[in-house]
Amino acid sequence: MGKRRGTRDLMQVGDILTPELLKTIKGPSAIDKRLIETAAAQVERPDDPRKLLYQHTVFCQTALPYRNEGDETRIWERSNGDVHLMVKAGHAMHPQERRLVPFGLPFGPKCRLVLMYINQLALLTRSPNVECEDSLTAFVRRVMKLDPKGRNIRMVKDQLARLACADITLGTVDDTPTGTNASTEQVHIVRHFNVWYPKDERQRVLWPSTIDLSLDYFESLMSHAVPLDEAHIAALSHSGLALDIYAWLAQRLHRIPANKPAFISWAALHGQFGQGYTGDQAVKKFRSVFRVALREVLSVYKAARIDDEERGRPRLSYVQDSRSVKAVWREKPATGLTLHNSPSPVPKRLQIIGGKA
């Protein structure tokens, strides 16, 4: 008999079934299928303005929280260049306690989606008084990909309530030939909204019949709404980061001069989108997650032209000290993205709603 193999020669199952191989065996996930189907449908030029969603340019340049920051966190801040966003969690009147009680900060993809939809309704009707009782249920099913049952509607309505209660402060700095202008704008998205649910958990959870946007927000939205393709948004509805990247590119790419690409460093992208990534490896970890979300965005927004500068190939160099010469492998670090002028995901002829979007 020959020698028996030692245990160190045995190959672990994890060495064979890598994550990539497991994905191949199992096939694409539900999210992957949704992205593939949207890309295959070539949904790049919608012809129906009712199939467009809208985001205010402020939320295309800065980001709301991606996850629940907890009841103790009452203020949220993000900066992007010369734009500074501050969101303060608000309060609402409680019908049983008969007093104002605190609501948390809005967070996640659901708050982004419901805000996009309310924006759409306001712009289609050109009115700050949005009638949404029936249409929101269809939107939850069509775009959020959720069965509009009690629990799901409660989650969406909770995000709507958080948005309705929040106070938003936007600060911008603008350098001019004569000096620097610093402006501060106070924004309250919703003027009036009934946030409460039925006493009995078994009762049907209803949407409010109307949502009254504040006049300041509505007038600003009319001038600064960014149109988005509903089919693309539906495909990305699982990820707040992917939704933010898509809205950012939809707002940014078509404004870049054709002969002057814009370079964005990973440090700047981390400052804009990298909430939750801290410590020595913060940018590196964020970059890995961002690239996954960016690939998902580009799978549906095919016209977007972006160069991702990967790390360069390692090169062997020699370093000499007082005693010897050492061989050292060096590689050029990944520095950022280069954005090129690209068509908007929504054609100009459909951008009549939303004024200067």
Asked if residues 250 and 344 have their Cβ atoms less than 8 Å apart, the reply is: yes
**Segment 260-264 long-range contacts (CB within 8 Å, at least 24 positions apart):** 261/307, 261/338, 261/339, 261/340, 261/341, 262/338, 262/339, 263/336, 263/337, 263/338, 263/339, 264/336, 264/337, 264/338, 264/339
Q: Which pLDDT value is given to residue 357?
A: 40
Q: Which pLDDT value is given to residue 23?
A: 55
Residues of the chain with pLDDT under 70: 1-28, 34, 37-49, 133-134, 195-208, 310-317, 321-322, 327-334, 349-357
Classify burial at 171, counting beta carbons within 10 Å of its beta carbon; exposed 0-12, middle 13-18, buried 19 or more. Answer: middle
Q: Which pLDDT value is given to residue 356?
A: 43
Q: Report the largest interatomic distance among the alpha carbons of the chain, rounded to a whole angstrom.
A: 92
Joined tokens for residue 84 = 């500074």
Joined tokens for residue 114 = 């419901």
Closest of 209, 299, 237, 187 to residue 53, by C-alpha: 237
- Number of DSSP helices (H) and strands (E) in the chain, helices first: 12, 16
Mapping DSSP to helix (H, G, I), strand (E, B) and coil, where does residue 33 land?
helix
Write the pLDDT tens digit of every residue in 106-152. 999 999 999 999 999 999 899 999 887 667 788 888 888 888 777 88
Separation between Cα atoms, residue 330 and residue 265, nearest integer Å: 21
Q: Which pLDDT value is given to residue 32?
A: 73
Q: Which pLDDT value is given to residue 350?
A: 58
Q: Which pLDDT value is given to residue 13?
A: 47
Q: Which pLDDT value is given to residue 349?
A: 57
Separation between Cα atoms, residue 254 and residue 261, nearest integer Å: 11
Domain extents for the chain?
A: 31-255+344-350
